[in-house]
Structure 1
């Protein structure tokens, strides 16, 4: 994995955890906040930590954020500061600028002034929780190519004892299974999804499909 230079501006819960995890993954992380106690708390878990006001261009430059390849602005409800920080980062020439938004209007403004990506953690987490609660048989769902998702599905009872060729998942439901995950001997096995791969109770299908095909498969194969 390529080592990258990150700057995290705003050390609330989200920013602090993000800085720490990026650092643990082996990246260079500069953590910045105007609150000295927040900076002190995260300092052991990042490459460098600086006290600076995100709404002050000279403060940010002195802290060294202009040297980052990727900057994350996580200022919570400080909307004016997040907007100014985004503008300053654009002027510094930072290539990737991810900014935390607190509302739809805030997100629109950030996109227009130069944020390369706008994140809304509370909204995104709510969507994930809602999907998990409403779709207990869908273990995970990741965006893939445009119009497709990579999903993890529990193999329904109707398919137990059949091979992938016999299940006709692609022809009937548009699911392209790329892997079958199975627990054997207390260990998880990742099996190549060949036509002769048999499906058993407890198997997890990793498949590429359109969202509407996933929903149709779930409706027609309960349990």
Structure 2
């Protein structure tokens, strides 16, 4: 069991905190809004009405030993930055923060935040990718310039083995797994002699350029 602190209870913070708690972790949440705290109090370990931009408040919470603090304040950029600084000041080593735009992301990087989430941008890109290509089931940004996609097997690949379609050399894309619908089964790191069916779903990792080329196959 790990200890988490979630600062800010917008949609992102709420679902993150409640899901971590369901996973069996110790989760404390803080927010200035009493109504938001009331809504989540039965779904986390501890829910406190508090202002994360006040260094005295943060210091008094006794949270310096948490495994990870997540700053999910998104409406006011300055409040997010102050919260991060206050958490760093009390010695929290691992801080994850949500960014609302590119300038916010750059500031968080300058502050040394280890992980930065950009949920609105990532979700928008994922939806745009799905709307652009009917075979694309899902898209997840991975690293800058790389992504993970779920792709229905193109008709031209049906009946061929992974070795024959040779995605690594042809597109610079790696098959991470294959989701079989008939029969229902997940194959991780499938073998080269696996024969693709029209009902299969490919889970692929690769550069955005390679994935885009493959989607247009």
Q: What's the TM-score once normalised by structure 1's chain length?
A: 0.84
**Within the alignment, does 1:212 sit opposite 2:215 as a pair?**
no
**Within the alignment, does 1:76 sit opposite 2:97 as a pair?**
no
Alpha-carbon distance, 1:127 to partner: 1.3
Partner of 1:199: 196
- Equivalent residue of 2:64, what SS? helix
Greater Cα shift, 47-56 or 61-70: 61-70
Larger radius of gyration: 1
Answer whether contact 1:73 1:86 (CA < 8 A) is retained: yes
In structure 2, the CA distance between the partners of 1:117 and 1:168, relative to structure 1 (3 Å rule), is: closer
Partner of 2:7: 9
How far apart in 1 are the matches of 2:13 and 2:88?
Answer: 20
Deviation track 1:105-163 (CA, whole Å, cap 9, x = no partner) reads 23322322342233332222111111121133233344557765443322111121222
- Size of the aligned set, in residue pairs, is 217
In structure 2, the CA distance between the partners of 1:133 and 1:94, relative to structure 1 (3 Å rule), is: same
How far apart in 2 are the matches of 1:32 and 1:209?
Answer: 38
Alpha-carbon distance, 1:169 to partner: 3.2
Deviation track 1:43-77 (CA, whole Å, cap 9, x = no partner) reads 11111111211121121222233232211112222
Answer whether contact 1:51 1:63 (CA < 8 A) is retained: no
**Within the alignment, does 1:179 sit opposite 2:174 as a pair?**
no
Partner of 1:92: 90
How far apart in 1 are the matches of 2:8 and 2:174?
Answer: 42
- Equivalent residue of 1:83, what SS? helix
How far apart in 2 are the matches of 1:25 and 1:104?
Answer: 31
Q: What's the TM-score once normalised by structure 2's chain length?
A: 0.86
Unaligned ranges ≥5, structure 1 = none
Within a 5 Å distance, the mapping from 1:39-188 to structure 2 comes to 39-142=37-140, 148-185=146-183, 187-188=184-185
Unaligned ranges ≥5, structure 2 = none
Q: RMSD of the alignment, in Å? A: 2.4
Deviation track 1:81-126 (CA, whole Å, cap 9, x = no partner) reads 2222111111111112122233332332232234223333222211
How far apart in 2 are the matches of 1:58 and 1:96?
Answer: 20
Answer whether contact 1:6 1:71 (CA < 8 A) is retained: yes
Partner of 2:16: 18
